[in-house]
Amino acid sequence: MTISVGYSIAIIAVCVVCTFLERALPFLLFGGREVPKIVKYLGRILPMAVMATLVVYCLRSTTFDAMGNFLPQIIAVAVVAALHLWRKNTFLSIVVGTAVYMVLVQLVF
Amino acid sequence: MKQTFLYAFRRTVPIMLGFFPLGLAYGVLMESIGYNFLWSTLTSLTVLAGSLQFLMVEFFVNGTPLITVALLALLLNSRHIFYGISFVERFRSFGSGSRLFLIYSLSDESYSLHCAHKPQEGVDEKWAHLFSAGFVLFYWLVFTFMGGLVGQLITFDTTGIDFSLTALFVVILIDQLREAKTMLPAAIAVVSGIVCILLFGAANFILPSLLITVAVLCLLRPRLEQYTVEEEVAA
């Protein structure tokens, strides 16, 4: 440890407060009253947009300078998507897709 | 209740797979800078935000000023602001203790599970959310604890196992696309994400990307509103 225990705890405390405040913000703003129509609309339309953003977020470090930096991701995502469209089994899609990805990054590329 | 518990366990197994290498890596990393398993477990229990916890390692090493810590924490987790919007009404009837727990535990993974939940026979809605978020928290705690304590002993190659979280998001997105009457929100988010990565870089893209997505979705509301079903009316 290069800093004191007290300062370490202060860092944790600041991160706890900031994280909680962001998670609580919509509830603080709209929790006690009728939710505005535009916010209701966003609440229903956002999950699909956020999930798509999270997929992009997970793949953000992909680069196209070498095959090993993009082919494993593309192949594994395609396997997950195809398997899930075909069998509709969440667990199967994730386990097989992850196994394919691990084989690709560890053994192939 | 037992059925709800099992339902929550089954749907959180992919997250257990993904958290295994992440939690271990975090525990090992903290241990390597002189913060033992008590520190990593305490941080996982209180902060409960993976990407921020990895950034906090830099704060501990450098003794970063608290104002910088606050700004970086707010920026890195800014996407969480958008998560609660979908659940303000659903969580309202849950009681304040349950609601506080669900807000505190609203990570990317819990949020995805809350979005994917569909009412079904024998599964209590409130407890389905509570148990699911509880399992996610539990896995994170156990694996960071293990990482700090015995992480160095694990020798088999887990490289790539964290792809299970990517796969989870892909699967939930496909389920949403299958049920939705329009794919436009996902298309807007992907285009906005790619454009923002090119403009702002992979490390800083997510906040501008979400802001642009929200703005475009608001502009397109006259067109898109018909595709979102009012739950009260639908019943």
When scoring A77, A98, A104, A108 by the number of chain B Cβ atoms within 10 A, the one with the most, hence best to mutate, is A98
Distance CA B198, CA B188 (A): 16
Contact criterion met (CB < 8 Å) for A98 and B189: no
Distance CA B181, CA B178 (A): 8
Q: What is the CA radius of gyration of chain B?
A: 19
Distance CA B35, CA B57 (A): 9
ipTM (interface predicted TM): 0.90
B93: exposed, middle or buried (C-beta count within 10 Å: 0-12, 13-18, 19+)? exposed
Contact criterion met (CB < 8 Å) for A90 and B11: yes
Q: Where are the domains positioned within chain B?
A: 2-179, 181-235
Question: Of all residues in chain A, what percent are helix, strand and coil, respectively (each to 5)?
Answer: 80, 0, 20
Other C-beta atoms closer than 10 Å to the C-beta of B57 total: 17
Calculate mean pLDDT across residues B45-74. Answer: 90
Contact criterion met (CB < 8 Å) for A25 and B81: yes
| Confidence band of B75 (pLDDT split at 50, 70, 90) | confident
The 3-state DSSP class for residue B160 equals: coil
Q: Which residue of B has its CA nearest to A80?
A: B167
The predicted pLDDT at position B230 comes to: 54
B107: nearest Cα among B88, B135, B127, B128: B135
Q: What is the pLDDT of residues A3-58, one digit of tens each?
A: 999 999 999 999 999 999 999 999 999 988 888 989 889 988 988 998 899 899 88
Distance CA B160, CA A58 (A): 12
| H/E run at residue A91 | helix A90-103
